[in-house]
Amino acid sequence: MEPTDPSTFTPDAPFFQRIGALIRRERATRFSGGAIGYLWAYLTPVAFIALIVVSFRILGRVPPIYVSTELFVATGILPYVLFRQTLGSMARTVIANRYLLYFVPVNVTELFLATAILELLNTIVTVVLIFALIMIFSGGSAPFNILGVINGFFMAWAIGVGFGRFVAVLGQWSDTLARSVPLALRPMFWISGIFYTATELPNSAIQILWYNPLFHAIELVREGFFLGYESQISSAWYPASFALVFYLLSLVLERYVVDTRRARHRL
């Protein structure tokens, strides 16, 4: 064997540099429409909120909590949007960025991590902006327990990351499953308490909807936001364990898909 001098080897990029580069690259490529594309990301939740507020007005519905309709709807829709966008981005990143795996040491977990962090950062900006706008234009007091609000949003994000990773791996395996997941998740908009609260529901409905982890996240946000509001569906450990279980399941499924060479998208 010939002698080799390890000091001449070029070192790989350190972990945090890789994550940073992946996040910046993802951010630069996410909205191909440039500035308008970027604006779109903020307009989507605003449009959502406006639409629901208008339908509240038309139907003559008053929020079950004594706050402005805009604020009430925002506490429901923003965690929902965070969940859906995180989930969608997780599923997209493994397919859109799979060729980055050619640049060892980048691996799949890093692609997921960068995407999840970027979604969280984007959401912080969106959430602060939208709440600030609502406070300015329709009044309302600041959240009474800001940590509670953060906890709720964090849970919505965690479900998006854990379940999203699972869906992403499922999508690598089967095209049919990848296409059916968004369809299966359509009802989430109606069953997560976005425009109503758990306290308004009959007991029988609570028993079923309790198993929807996103409902917990949304009610956690409201409990933190509105002084004196308490919900029957606001456990923190349920969405946290839901996210963790699906995250771990995704690791097992990924192992199977990779080891048995079943990935749909070849490198």
Whether 256 contacts 172, CB under 8 Å: no
Residue 139 structure tokens = 């009044």
Q: Is 101 one of the binding residues for other proteins (CB under 8 A)?
A: yes
The DSSP annotation for 33-72 comes to TTHHHHHHHHHHHHHHHHHHHHHHHHHT---SSSS-HHHH
The residue among 99 and 142 lying less far from other proteins, judged by its C-beta, is: 99
The DSSP annotation for 110-168 comes to HHHHHHHHHHHHHHHHHHHHHHHHHHHHH--PPPS-HHHHHHHHHHHHHHHHHHHHHHH
10 Å CB burial of residue 138 (0-12, 13-18, 19+) is middle
Q: What CA–CA distances, in Å, run from 239 to 52, 106, 157?
A: 25, 30, 10
Q: Site for other proteins (CB under 8 A): which residue of 22, 74, 155, 169?
A: 22
Q: Site for other proteins (CB under 8 A): which residue of 35, 136, 183, 267?
A: 267
Q: Is 7 one of the binding residues for other proteins (CB under 8 A)?
A: no
- Min dist CB 111 to other proteins, Å, is 11
Q: Site for other proteins (CB under 8 A): which residue of 59, 60, 142, 259?
A: 259
Looking at residue 176, what DSSP letter applies?
H
The residue among 26 and 219 lying less far from other proteins, judged by its C-beta, is: 26
The three-state secondary structure class of 12 is coil
Q: Site for other proteins (CB under 8 A): which residue of 35, 36, 58, 104?
A: 104
Of 8-16, 54-62, 191-199, 212-220, which segment contacts other proteins by CB under 8 A?
A: 8-16
Asked if residue 105 has a cis previous peptide bond (ω within 30° of 0), the answer is: yes
Q: Site for other proteins (CB under 8 A): which residue of 36, 183, 204, 261?
A: 261
Cβ-proximal residues to 174 (8 Å cutoff; 6+ apart), any chain: 264
Q: Is 102 one of the binding residues for other proteins (CB under 8 A)?
A: yes
Of 18-26, 123-131, 144-152, 189-197, which segment contacts other proteins by CB under 8 A?
A: 18-26
The residue among 18 and 216 lying less far from other proteins, judged by its C-beta, is: 18
Residue 78 structure tokens = 């923003």
Whether 181 contacts 171, CB under 8 Å: yes
Q: Within 23-42, which residues bind other proteins (CB under 8 A)?
A: 24-25, 28-29, 32
Of 44-52, 54-62, 95-103, 173-181, which segment contacts other proteins by CB under 8 A?
A: 95-103
Count, residues near other proteins per rule CB under 8 A: 34
The residue among 8 and 204 lying less far from other proteins, judged by its C-beta, is: 8
The residue among 77 and 169 lying less far from other proteins, judged by its C-beta, is: 169
Binding footprint of other proteins on the chain (CB under 8 A): 1-2, 4, 6, 8-14, 17-18, 20-22, 24-25, 28-29, 32, 99-104, 106, 258-262, 267
